[in-house]
Amino acid sequence: MSITELVSNHVDTASVAATIEKSLRAASTDTHNAVIADLSERAHQRVETVGKQLEQGDTLRLAGVPVVVKDNYLTFGAETTAASNMLKGFNSPYQSTVVERLEAEGAIMVAKANLDAFAHGSSTENSDFGPTTNPVDETRVPGGSSGGSAAAVSAGIAPVALGSDTGGSIRLPASFCGVVGYKPSYGLVSRSGVVAMASSTDVMGPLTNSVADSALILDVIAGRDKLDSTTIERASDDYTQLTSDKKLKIGVVKEYFGNGVDVAVESVITTRLDALEQAGHELVEVSIPSTELALACYYIVVPAEISSNLARYDGLRFGHHAQDAASLDDFYKRSRSEGFGDEAKRRIMIGNYVLSSGYYDAYYKKAQQARTKLTQEFAAALGDVDVLAGPVAPTPAFKFGANTQDPLQMYLADVLTVGSSLAGLPAVSVPAGVTADEQLPVGLQLIGAHNHDLELLQAAAIAEGVQS
Amino acid sequence: MNDITTDDIRYIAGLSKLELSDDEIAKFRDELAEIVGYVERLQDADLDGVATTAQVSGLVDRTRPDEAIDPSKADNSLQRTTRQELLANAADTTSEGYIKVDKVL
């Protein structure tokens, strides 16, 4: 059932309550560790509020729609932990803008989703609440960092889950779990009230069962927010206008094939692209030559920003507080060392290394230059075509433990998603089919021009509808 | 492989306000050496004269009026937040509404 159909069934408190109870039950019996906190008390209050609004004749675009929220979004009704020991026990006095905009249209938050702690990871194995399993195959990871969100949608806990994407964290789990994951243009959705990872690439977006559902959620959350000065004006006043009879010109990014991409993944993507061609859309090969530099650039820029953003965890204002410290400096060090896990420590140290005196020009400045080059190459490629296409990830969902011993190997899962993040471009993972041998879902990645989200969503809807 | 030493890790950990055991220092040295070794491929890229990019929003110097906000009239929960609510998550506070820290001098 689409969100629109679900909303049309909600006419009063009783009908909203029935949907929300069902979703809360699914959350409380979740066997995938997709959700790590319950919002049932607040959800019950919200059922009353939304029900009354409906009974008064209010029109709410998301009336009674259950939403699972990645636990790095500040929300009322439960702790916000970012799945980290550092923030266990943190009760936010305010909510994120995205949650408030969804609530204003009648959506009801039902649970908080698991993630890699602080959204650092590609498998959700790095959660201080234990890993999430992939509903498609429980021996495999759901991807990350929004793994709980993708699993929650895939397992039917809610039709919408919120995720955040810094270098692929919405798209990768969407690909691994066989759902739609939409990363909006940088700046189109407010970051206010979301635990910061890398401020220049963090983007908030939805994971859903269909492109139309993602478009509806984007339409509700997109646009300027006075609480986030990096938000941009929306380019469309209606992101749900997806029907288009236009024939697409699709730029197939040649660097996104070969080079360590699984043949099974390539085969699913090629089959879907061929189907698009047979339906009358044009495929052209395009090149983003700096793709080979994108991951290196990302793992300089992003840890640098992480080291800065995570400096706020001093143990004093919020977060884990060390006991019986000998001095203020000792208090800082112990609070941080006890509260942060290895991946956060690793990224903070990489960040401080590349920013430190004597290394800044060699690493950080080079990365900023590579970012310019990459952004220019994307703009040039998108000048000739409607969207860019390729796989989301080089592999389908991998087994637990496959990459945990080697951080660099884990980072390589993001090799095809970080480029568009660095360039601030909107990108989406659309389910494209399953691998022939293991029947694992594979996502087709489509990338659009900055602030051309409507055009990208239209292309995604076309790609979703074409039968391979 | 680059030449990150355990002393480098100790130095960076200090900058990062992290306390690491000797085992952790050895482990992070190996991991950071591998990661930094990977990102070093940028050194060979021809980027001379290319401008730097710090952000991609397309926005420049956005300002807002410098006005006090009346929490009781705010249209969002962040601006409705009171000092007391914010301090509820702090380690230790004074009765005057300040965060208490150990003496630094």
- Burial (CB count <10 Å: 0-12, 13-18, 19+), residue A239: buried
Cα–Cα separations (whole angstroms), residue A138 to A330, A449, B76: 42, 36, 40
* Cα atoms in the Cβ-side hemisphere of radius 13 Å centred on A303: 29
Q: What is the CATH architecture assignment of A3-221?
A: Alpha-Beta Complex (3.90)
Taking a C-beta distance cutoff of 8 angstroms, is the pair A397, A142 a contact? yes
Per-residue pLDDT band for B1 (boundaries 50, 70, 90) equals very low
The whole-angstrom separation of Cα A126 and Cα A145 is 9
- What DSSP designation does A362 have? I
Q: What is the secondary structure of A307-353 as a DSSP string?
A: HHHGGG--SSSSS---SS-SSHHHHHHHHHHHHS-HHHHHHHHHHHH
| SS3 (DSSP) at A412 | helix
Active site residue A96: no
Taking a C-beta distance cutoff of 8 angstroms, is the pair A113, A69 a contact? yes
Contacts of A186 in chain B (CB under 8 A): 56-57
Joined tokens for residue B85:
């609510």
The answer to whether A187 faces chain B, any CB pair under 8 Å, is yes
Contacts of A348 in chain B (CB under 8 A): 16, 18
pLDDT at A34 > cutoff 90: yes
Average pLDDT, chain A: 97
Kindly report the length of chain B: 105
pLDDT over 90, % of chain A: 97
| SS3 (DSSP) at A430 | strand
Active site residue A246: no
* A316-362: pLDDT as tens digits: 999 999 999 999 999 999 999 999 999 999 999 999 999 998 889 99
Cα–Cα separations (whole angstroms), residue A122 to A351, A415, A468, B33: 19, 11, 28, 21
Contacts of B50 in chain A (CB under 8 A): 369-370, 372-373
- Is this complex scored with an ipTM above 0.85? yes
**pLDDT for position B20:** 97
- What DSSP designation does A196 have? -
**pLDDT for position A244:** 79
**pLDDT for position B104:** 83
* Cα atoms in the Cβ-side hemisphere of radius 13 Å centred on A366: 23
Supply the Cα-derived Rg of chain A in whole angstroms: 21
Average pLDDT, chain B: 93
Give the one of A315, A352, A367 whose C-beta lies nearest to B42's C-beta. A367
Those of residues 284-313 in A touching chain B at CB distance below 8 A are 290, 292-293, 295-297, 299-300, 307, 311
Taking a C-beta distance cutoff of 8 angstroms, is the pair A62, A26 a contact? no
Per-residue pLDDT band for B105 (boundaries 50, 70, 90) equals confident
Q: C-alpha B55: how far from its chain's center?
A: 17
| SS3 (DSSP) at A9 | coil
Closest chain B CA to residue A188: B57
* B33-44: pLDDT as tens digits: 999 999 999 999
In sequence order, what E strands does A177-271 have? Answer: 180-183, 203-208, 249-253
pLDDT at B2 > cutoff 80: no
Task: Exactly one of A23, A70, A420, A429 is catalytic; name it.
Answer: A70
The whole-angstrom separation of Cα A214 and Cα A13 is 25
Residue B36 Cα, gap to closest chain A Cα (Å): 8
Taking a C-beta distance cutoff of 8 angstroms, is the pair A430, A444 a contact? yes
Taking a C-beta distance cutoff of 8 angstroms, is the pair B57, A424 a contact? yes
Pick from A51-60, A104-113, A433-442, B82-91: least confident:
B82-91
The whole-angstrom separation of Cα A112 and Cα A38 is 7
End-to-end CA distance of chain B: 43
Q: What is the secondary structure of A104-145 as a DSSP string?
A: HTT-EEEEEEP-SGGG--SSSTT-TT-PPPBTTBTTB---SS
Average pLDDT for A6-12: 98
Contacts of A366 in chain B (CB under 8 A): 42-43, 45, 47
Supply the Cα-derived Rg of chain B in whole angstroms: 23
The whole-angstrom separation of Cα A400 and Cα B67 is 52
The whole-angstrom separation of Cα A278 and Cα B43 is 43
Cα–Cα separations (whole angstroms), residue A26 to A40, A142, A159, A176: 12, 18, 12, 21
* A44-63: pLDDT as tens digits: 999 999 999 999 999 999 99
Per-residue pLDDT band for A148 (boundaries 50, 70, 90) equals very high
* A369-424: pLDDT as tens digits: 999 999 999 999 999 999 999 999 999 999 999 999 999 999 999 999 999 999 99
Average pLDDT for A454-467: 95
Place of tokens 């189109």: A188
Average pLDDT for A193-220: 98
Active site residue A169: yes
- In terms of phi and psi (left: phi > 0; alpha: psi -120 to 50; beta: otherwise), the region of A120 is beta
Give the one of B17, B34, B80 whose C-beta lies nearest to A336's C-beta. B17
Q: Is the dihedral of CA A222, A186, A206, A252 positive or negative?
A: positive
**pLDDT for position A390:** 98
- Burial (CB count <10 Å: 0-12, 13-18, 19+), residue A437: exposed
Taking a C-beta distance cutoff of 8 angstroms, is the pair A150, A163 a contact? yes
pLDDT at A468 > cutoff 70: no
Residue A424 Cα, gap to closest chain B Cα (Å): 6
The whole-angstrom separation of Cα A63 and Cα A47 is 9
Joined tokens for residue A400:
């637990």
Cα–Cα separations (whole angstroms), residue B99 to A2, A234, A324, B56: 49, 40, 17, 36
Contacts of B28 in chain A (CB under 8 A): 345-346, 349
Q: DSSP alpha helices (H): ranges in A247-327?
A: 263-278, 291-309
Rounded to 5 degrees, what are φ and ψ at A285? -85, 135
